[in-house]
């Protein structure tokens, strides 16, 4: 297990909590708040790193190959991500049904997360199959999982074609991204790229953010070849990269850079440096083991915060009064409460389900402990 990556997962999830906290009530600019979405870019870089890590890290030779069948790979990814997403999506649907038409449903923050639109059968189906395209799914933050699963299924298909080497996997994935971008651009130019469901996979694969998974795969190559930042630059990067990113974007220093590819070129590169610096410090400045629970529960935090924040806002509004707090105290309350809920969900729902699915009969050897933690 790479402890610094685990801690970075928590940092990424906490940034997303920041992005969705109603700090605008205290005069914080919405454009500044949305920079917390940088946590998503960190998650994507980490995912791009983790996939080759679990596929190739058992091979100690320079000629890296994987023996993992594509079916085993995709099954493990589904087992890891989908069950909790399914349970919490159903929770949203049931809650939306129970409070429909009530005073609770009229509360602005609650209406966004638990609105009547969550009862649409087609939206439920598309959300649970990650085919909702640009429409917000049942759990709004689940839009990122659509990109995650596009990455997973692309890797699975490449493995299914017989690709076994790391370099070949990277080249194939790069080729898919290029072809998808060119085809999407051409179809858009001639007006053929419609909202037809048949085009949804292409629209997802041509998303500029899919490039960030590729950046994560590059981080894996640096890790495998032991190409690290030295201790002082890595420590400085770990401390200042996120604040530097926020300052740069808040002041439009890179405004317009990359055009449609601004996100991977700026946000993705900053996230790349963040992850690389964390890995570089693993041997010299490792996160305490006691903090591993924060990383272990980061997926639960990412999903649960969206479900919990409206109720926190409702409680504070009706029982405490938003005027009695400030932006800092509200953010601290949101992170602490959401993290406590996430740890409980991880311990009593997510982890038992994952352990149960891992214990099911397999034709392939089970992942090592380090790989299980990485997954």
What are the domain boundaries of the chain?
Answer: 3-374
Mean pLDDT of 287-314: 95
Contacts of 257 (CB under 8 A, 6+ apart): 265, 266
pLDDT of residue 57: 77
> pLDDT tens, 332-368?
999 999 999 999 999 999 999 999 998 765 544 445 5
- Range with the lowest mean pLDDT among 136-150, 234-248, 290-304, 360-374? 360-374
- Range with the lowest mean pLDDT among 33-47, 63-77, 335-349? 63-77
As beta bridge partners, residue 165 has 65
pLDDT of residue 191: 81
Determine the Cα–Cα distance for residues 341 and 256; give it in Å rounded to an integer. Answer: 39
pLDDT of residue 361: 56
Contact at 8 Å (CB) between 209 and 44? yes
Determine the Cα–Cα distance for residues 69 and 51; give it in Å rounded to an integer. Answer: 14
Determine the Cα–Cα distance for residues 50 and 5; give it in Å rounded to an integer. Answer: 10
DSSP assignments along 59-113, one per residue = --SSS-B----HHHHHHHHHHHHHHHHHHHHHHHHHHHHHHTTSHHHHSHHHHHH
- Range with the lowest mean pLDDT among 69-73, 158-162, 233-237, 290-294? 290-294
The rounded Cα 326 to chain-centroid distance in angstroms is 28
Mean pLDDT of 140-152: 97
Q: Residue 193: is its pLDDT beyond 80? A: no
DSSP assignments along 171-206, one per residue = HHHHHHHHHHHHHHHHHHHTT---S-GGGHHHHHHT
Contact at 8 Å (CB) between 110 and 92? no
pLDDT of residue 62: 55
pLDDT of residue 364: 46
Q: Residue 167: is its pLDDT beyond 90? A: yes
pTM across the whole model: 0.93
Mean pLDDT of the chain: 92
Look up tokens 């085809």; give the residue. 183
Mean pLDDT of 294-317: 97
pLDDT of residue 327: 96
Q: Residue 117: is its pLDDT beyond 90? A: yes
pLDDT of residue 200: 87
Determine the Cα–Cα distance for residues 70 and 168; give it in Å rounded to an integer. Answer: 15
Q: Which residue has the higher pLDDT, 197 or 18?
A: 18
Q: How many H-runs (helices) and E-runs (strands) does the chain carry?
A: 19, 0
Determine the Cα–Cα distance for residues 185 and 82; give it in Å rounded to an integer. Answer: 31
pLDDT of residue 63: 62
The rounded Cα 244 to chain-centroid distance in angstroms is 21
pLDDT of residue 268: 98
Q: Residue 197: is its pLDDT beyond 90? A: no
With a pLDDT cut of 70, the percent of the chain lying above it is: 94
State the number of CA atoms in the 13 A half-sphere of 70 facing the CB: 14
Alpha-carbon torsion angle 198, 200, 202, 205, nearest 10: -150
């Amino acid at each position: 297990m790479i402890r610094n990556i685990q801690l970075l997962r928590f940092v990424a999830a906490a940034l997303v909590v920041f992005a969705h906290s109603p700090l605008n009530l205290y005069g914080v600019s919405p454009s500044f708040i949305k920079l917390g979405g940088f946590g998503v870019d960190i998650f994507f870089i980490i995912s791009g790193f983790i996939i080759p890590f679990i596929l190739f890290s058992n091979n100690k030779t320079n000629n890296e190959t994987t023996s993992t069948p594509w079916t085993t790979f995709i099954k493990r990814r589904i087992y890891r991500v989908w069950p909790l997403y399914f349970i919490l999506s159903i929770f949203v649907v049931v809650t939306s049904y129970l409070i429909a038409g009530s005073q609770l449903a009229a509360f602005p923050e609650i209406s966004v997360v638990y609105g009547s639109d969550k009862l649409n059968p087609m939206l439920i189906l598309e959300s649970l199959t990650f085919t909702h395209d640009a429409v917000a799914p049942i759990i709004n933050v689940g839009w990122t999982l659509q990109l995650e699963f596009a990455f997973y299924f692309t890797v699975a298909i490449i493995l299914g074609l017989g690709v076994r080497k790391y370099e070949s996997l990277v080249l194939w994935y790069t080729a898919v991204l290029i072809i998808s971008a060119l085809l999407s651009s051409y179809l858009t130019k001639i007006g053929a790229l419609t909202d037809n469901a048949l085009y949804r996979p292409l629209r997802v694969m041509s998303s500029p953010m899919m490039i960030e998974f590729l950046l994560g795969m590059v981080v894996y190559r640096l890790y495998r070849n032991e190409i690290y930042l030295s201790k002082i630059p890595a420590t400085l990067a770990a401390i200042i990269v996120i604040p530097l990113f926020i300052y740069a974007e808040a002041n439009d220093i890179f405004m317009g850079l990359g055009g449609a590819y601004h996100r991977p070129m700026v946000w993705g590169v900053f996230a790349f440096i963040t992850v690389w610096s964390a890995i570089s410090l693993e041997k010299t400045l490792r996160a305490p083991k006691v903090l591993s629970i924060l990383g272990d529960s980061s997926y639960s935090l990412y999903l649960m915060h969206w479900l919990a924040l409206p109720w926190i806002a409702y409680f504070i509004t009706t029982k405490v009064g938003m005027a009695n707090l400030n932006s800092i105290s509200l953010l601290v309350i949101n992170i602490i409460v959401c993290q406590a809920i996430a740890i409980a969900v991880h311990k009593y729902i997510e982890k038992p389900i994952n352990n149960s699915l891992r214990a099911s009969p397999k034709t392939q050897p089970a992942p090592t402990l380090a790989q299980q933690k990485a997954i």
